[in-house]
């Protein structure tokens, strides 16, 4: 059994295939496994307590794990050791989520492209057809992650409290979420995964996309992301498309095309869930 895993900070999808590429189990979903945020004990608990994974752990021969927080050596090795301690018969490969986005969006294995992730967090890289290049080291959700779920969640909360949100939307926002200041601060400073907590508010945008306020909020975030991340690859943009992966990207398709036209770059593929493309990628290698 081969496990292909795509993890963000919020959720983690597991798909099992055999050596012919046939899916063996229904897709499994666990909480997100970001080793840059979660401690080893928590990572172990999330994985080991999942019933199907627990039942089939000895059958697993290979694990290809792609995840948020796996871009630097220490957290990547920490997660690798956790996986190896549970799936004792498996060869384990852990790569950052950017590789998942590349493999899920490019049209051929050697296609060059700028590839962006817009999910709970955000990132942007250039794939030259062989290697991945990044020109900005991520400093996490508190300082970066423009146009991500947690970015938009933070902007919505700020606009609500600073009275920049239209009154009708303020009422709707308050009805949908607990906006008590103590409750928000408790989740931000006392609970694990504050980035995922912030990202949970982003759904509000896509339930109210008819609002000019929401449209402008989305486009403002995308312009910032373009300036700070996509335009790190100005020369490459002259000849390659920009692909996007992640739920925020998928539900912001219209705004992505508008901002790209405004700023002068070409949008390629937009994929909601990289896991589907990853299954095809690894099946082709079998």
pLDDT in tens, 245-279: 999 999 999 999 999 999 999 999 999 988 888 88
Answer whether residue 50 is part of any domain.
Answer: yes
pLDDT of 286 > 80? The answer is no
Answer whether residue 216 is part of any domain.
Answer: no
Q: pLDDT tens digits, residue range 199-244? A: 999 999 999 999 999 999 999 999 999 999 999 999 999 999 999 9
Answer whether residue 202 is part of any domain.
Answer: no
Give the pLDDT confidence score for residue 118 in this predicted structure: 95
Answer whether residue 144 is part of any domain.
Answer: no
Could you tell me the residue range of the domain that residue 50 belongs to? 2-100+275-285
Residue 95 sits in a domain whose CATH number is 3.30.420.40
Answer whether residue 39 is part of any domain.
Answer: yes
Answer whether residue 140 is part of any domain.
Answer: no
Whether 104 and 119 have beta carbons less than 8 Å apart is answered as no
Q: How many domains does the chain have?
A: 1
Q: What is this structure's pTM?
A: 0.83
- Distance (Å, whole) CA 2 – CA 23: 9
Answer whether residue 13 is part of any domain.
Answer: yes
194-224 CB burial, b ≥16 within 10 A, e <16: bbbbbbbbbbbbeebeebebbbebbbbbbbe
Answer whether residue 254 is part of any domain.
Answer: no
């Amino acid at each position: 059994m081969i496990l292909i895993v795509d993890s963000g900070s919020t959720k983690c999808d597991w798909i099992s295939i055999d050596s012919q590429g046939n899916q063996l189990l229904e897709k499994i979903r666990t909480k997100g496994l970001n080793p840059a945020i979660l401690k080893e004990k928590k990572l172990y608990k999330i994985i080991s307590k999942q019933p199907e994974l627990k039942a089939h752990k000895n059958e697993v021969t290979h694990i290809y794990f792609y995840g948020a927080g796996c871009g630097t050596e220490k957290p990547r090795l920490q997660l690798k050791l956790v996986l190896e301690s549970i799936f004792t018969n498996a060869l384990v490969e852990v790569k950052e989520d950017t590789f998942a986005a590349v493999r899920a969006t490019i049209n051929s294995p050697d296609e060059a492209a700028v590839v962006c992730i817009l999910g709970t967090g955000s990132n942007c890289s250039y794939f030259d057809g062989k290697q991945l290049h990044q020109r900005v080291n991520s400093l996490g959700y508190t300082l970066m992650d423009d146009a991500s779920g947690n970015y938009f969640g933070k902007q919505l909360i700020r606009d609500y409290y600073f009275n920049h949100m239209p009154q009708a939307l303020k009422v709707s926002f308050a009805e949908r979420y607990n906006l008590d200041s103590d409750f928000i601060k408790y989740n931000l400073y006392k609970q694990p995964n504050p980035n995922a907590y912030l990202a949970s508010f982003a759904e509000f945008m896509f339930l109210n996309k008819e609002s000019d306020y929401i449209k402008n909020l989305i486009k403002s975030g995308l312009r910032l992301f373009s300036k700070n991340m996509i335009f790190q690859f100005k020369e490459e943009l002259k000849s390659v498309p920009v692909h996007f992966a992640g739920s925020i990207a998928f539900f912001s398709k219209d705004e992505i095309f508008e901002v790209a036209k405004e700023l002068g770059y070409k949008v390629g593929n937009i994929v909601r869930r990289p896991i589907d493309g990853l299954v095809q990628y690894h099946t082709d290698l079998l």
